[in-house]
Amino acid sequence: MSNFRFVIGRFLGAIPTLLILICLAFLLVKSAPGGPFDFERSLPEEVEANLRAAYNLDDPVYLQLFKYIGDLMQGDFGPSFQYRDYTVTELISTGFPVSLRLGVAAILLALIFGSLIGSIAALNQNSKLDYGVMFFGMIGISIPNFVMAPLLVLFFSIGLRALPAGGYNGGDFYHMILPVVSLALPQMAYIARLTRGSMIEVLSSNFVRTAKAQGLPVRTILLAHVLKPAFLPVVSYLGPATAAIITGSVVVEQIFGLPGLGRYFVQGALNRDYTLVMGVVVFYGCLIILFNLIVDTLYGFIDPKIKQNR
Amino acid sequence: MLGLILFGCGSGTDNKNATKEALIIGGLSGNELAEKQVFTKNNGSDPGTLDPHRAEGVPASNVLRDLYEGLVSEAANGDYIPGVAESWNISQDGKTYRFTIREGAVWSNGDKVVAEDFVFSLRRSVDPKTLSNYSSMLYPIKNARDVVLGKAPTDRLGVSAEGEKTLIIELEEPTPYFISLLTHSTTYPVHPPTVKEHGPLFTRPENMVSNGAFTLKDWRIQDYILLSRNERYWDDTNTTLSEVYYYPLDNPDASLRRYRANELDFTDTTPSEQLPWIKKNLKEELKITPYFGSYYYGFNNSKPPFKNNPELRIALSLAVNRTIITDIVLGAGQIPAFTFVPPVKEYQGTQPEWAKLTQEEREDLAEELYAQAGFDKNNPLSIEIIYNTSENHKRVALAVASMWKKVLGVETKLRNQEWKVFLETRRLQEETEIFRGGWIGDYDDPYTFSELLHSENEMNHSGYASAEYDALLKSASLKPAGKDRTGDLLQAEQIMLNDMPVIPLYFYVSQHLIKPWVVGLEGNVMDHHYSKYVKILKTETLTSE
């Protein structure tokens, strides 16, 4: 019951957060110099006036904001400025599946390989294997994906001609390999280091020593006593990792020309597509809040030390 | 004749037993076609819409040119040829055009294209309710301006049909470049029943009915636009391609990588930092053609120090060594510019006197004028160049600033702004001193450049206002094509160059990478390319030890 109350409480608590996010983002977007109707070929005044009226840009900003929030409550993100025949809702629903596919694949890859590599390194602490793995981990963290991605393309697509250099192609396996890998690498490296550190700490803790003294088999010790506490930091890192994957996808989608939300966001910002940028911000805002909520709930299940109804 | 053969070494093997790879293009005859007639192009970005009347920008025009056909079309080399109109005649006074609609012109759903479709479409194009960005292009048509500005109903537009086959367009003034406007998307026909039924959704692949060589098969936003051959197109027998892909890659480096990975047959441009590499490794595939565009620096003529100070403006212009900019800073084959309007057809701008001097002589003259304007090396001019963020613009600005410093001692600050911010700053003319400008002609007539410096033009960001210049433009607009009109425009440009409200720097070139198996494309000054002329040749790879 306490869990349920906790979830409801956090859920209600998210509403003001979201409202503040919307207001701040709205004001920031509107205060950016330049507008959606500034083109190389300037518009005749009358034509621009027509366009401004059609998009309600002549109202005072606070009125526009109220109207926007009102529309949002009805699930209407408004028409896009840049894609003149599309609504933002339509754009998000075409772009999100692409980003979701990319993000989920990257998170899974980072999580599985990261924790695996980290565990192996921890179990072979201070061996050559450990140093080797951690060295590559350091490289993975420090090389940003806008450097890593072109390098991977140069090697695998142009050099070996083994994988496509970009494009989505309906999201088939081959087209997703390089984007997923370039997005996952830094997170994978980070998770590996996190797992290693935490596992070494758990391995040297009193209860593990006791278990060893009792003569339990290593496998049982690892599975029953070490894994759960060792992965706690990894689970709590999932929230920030999701945020990092989302921001990373903005770059990776741009490099590989993937039609995901990150690319929409960049193009929307460059074109002063107010509604599209707002739509993506609100959508991702909701998503991150939701995800943090899930992680917090999950945390309570894994770690009995944490009482959720504090 | 044997097809083109390209040699290359297989990668990944050491030199001793390297496999030699030879790519044979076009088979034994050299023009054997590939089985798969699919053409993949990078288009630079996504069009905002595929509604021809509301579309804006080069990427949209590229796609619309394949989807729709206007009254007039273009050959591969850019010459005007009959499109939907099989012929036309122009009245004595040059103000009334009668077009005969081609027998056999049909929409992709089988409906006949009739004159009334054009009446509907042109009225829609100027209707303020359509919210077109480009409706001012149609101002030459009688009453168009009043309709666009909401002062007259759309049926007052000077366009009418006589039966199914005859379309009459009346103009305000003889407009010699009117035929070229008819290749612009604002004048394309749309299928009236579809537009009426679907409203703005008529551009969706499942709804669109078009009349060009291709139809819209799919549009995945930010992914690709896929066109497929329109078998009902009147000239379909001459179409070879079955499908065309347009990719919206805005990053020239990404575009180059995908070109090298054979995922693109055609790039919209080339990354300037990679140009030396491209010239070395892809020389045969790099196609550079003069492009109808002008790159310039504009002065803010409405504020000091440039207001009423032609000596200073000319001095700064003379001190720029344009050849260094085109050959060393840019290096793609851009052409040094001493006039504002790029050469087009019979219009060859008259070079000002100082263009004939050597650069040293120009610099001496610059120093003299600089002194006349009240500046010298001890009392130097201090100014700011503002440009939109881009590596190329920065390099040009750095070069110009160092030339001014060296020749005149001018202290120049550089300021870059993001594109939309820059557009606003430049339009407001509040904080600009010297700004970057670039213009690509909308139609192949000098007027598309000349009008930019008219005192009432909304794109005149330099604030140049010369009654004499305006009068010559007015006089030219009343005349039909010919020496008289060209003379007026040349004289106007002379007057402008003596005032030097802007510094012409160079004329653009279009830069494409095109795979050797793509044939049928020709370079042209408007950089207009129609996929209906493209063929893909067969390629075979021969490997030998």
Interface predicted TM-score (ipTM) of this complex, two decimals: 0.81
Q: What is the pLDDT of residue B1?
A: 41
Q: How confident is the model over B326-356, as pLDDT tens digits? A: 999 998 999 999 999 999 888 888 888 888 9
Question: Which member of A34, A165, A168 has the closest CB to residue B424?
Answer: A34
What band does B8 get if pLDDT is binned at 50, 70 and 90?
very low
Give CA–CA dist A202/A222, Å, rounded.
10
Query: Do the Cβ atoms of A46 and B150 come within 8 Å?
Result: yes
How many interface pairs between A and B have CB atoms less than 8 angstroms apart?
Answer: 149
A154 touches chain B (CB under 8 A): yes
Spatial contact of B126 and B138, defined as CB atoms under 8 Å apart: yes
Fold of the domain built from segment(s) A88-309: MetI-like fold (1.10.3720)
Query: Do the Cβ atoms of A165 and B263 come within 8 Å?
Result: yes
Query: Does any domain span residue B38?
Result: no
Q: How confident is the model over A189-225, as pLDDT tens digits? A: 999 999 999 988 888 888 888 888 888 888 888 887 8
Query: Do the Cβ atoms of A33 and B421 come within 8 Å?
Result: yes
Query: Does any domain span residue B275?
Result: no
Query: Does any domain span residue B260?
Result: no
CA neighbor of B23 nearest in space, from B41, B9, B37:
B9
pLDDT, mean of residues B214-235? 95
| Domain that residue B144 falls in | 69-189
Number of domains in chain B: 2
Distances (CA, A) of A11 to A15, A181, B158: 7, 34, 62
A167 touches chain B (CB under 8 A): yes
Does residue B2 surpass a pLDDT of 60? no
Give CA–CA dist B79/A73, Å, rounded.
55
pLDDT, mean of residues B29-37? 89
Query: Do the Cβ atoms of A39 and B133 come within 8 Å?
Result: yes
Give CA–CA dist A137/A127, Å, rounded.
15
Chain B, residues 345-384, CB within 8 A of chain A, namely none
Q: How confident is the model over A133-142, as pLDDT tens digits? A: 888 888 888 8
Q: Where are the beta strands (DSSP E) in B337-426?
A: 382-388, 411-417
Query: Does any domain span residue B345?
Result: yes
Question: Which member of B260, B422, B458 has the closest CB to residue A44?
Answer: B458
Q: Name the token pair of B205.
A: 């692949």
Query: Do the Cβ atoms of B263 and A166 come within 8 Å?
Result: yes
Query: Does any domain span residue B532?
Result: no
Residue carrying structure tokens 């409550």: A73
Q: How confident is the model over A225-271, as pLDDT tens digits? A: 888 888 888 888 887 888 888 888 888 998 888 899 988 998 899 88
Comparing alpha-carbon positions, the chain B residue that sits nearest to A157 is B261
Residue carrying structure tokens 């005192």: B455
Query: Do the Cβ atoms of B427 and A42 come within 8 Å?
Result: yes
B428 touches chain A (CB under 8 A): no
Q: What is the pLDDT of residue B15?
A: 44
CATH of the domain at B164: 3.90.76.10
The amino acid sitting at B142 is K
Domain final residue, candidates B189, B205, B229: B189
Same domain? For B311 and B428 the reply is yes
Q: pTM for this one?
A: 0.88
Residue B421 Cα, gap to closest chain A Cα (Å): 4
Q: What is the pLDDT of residue B545?
A: 56
Query: Does any domain span residue B126?
Result: yes
Chain B, residues 41-80, CB within 8 A of chain A, namely 45-46, 48-51, 54, 56-57
What band does A306 get if pLDDT is binned at 50, 70 and 90?
low
Same domain? For B327 and B450 the reply is yes
Domain final residue, candidates B189, B223, B248: B189
Q: How confident is the model over B287-335, as pLDDT tens digits? A: 999 999 999 999 999 998 999 999 999 999 999 999 999 999 998 999 9
Does residue A310 surpass a pLDDT of 50? no
CATH of the domain at B481: 3.10.105.10
Same domain? For B168 and B316 the reply is no
Query: Does any domain span residue B145?
Result: yes
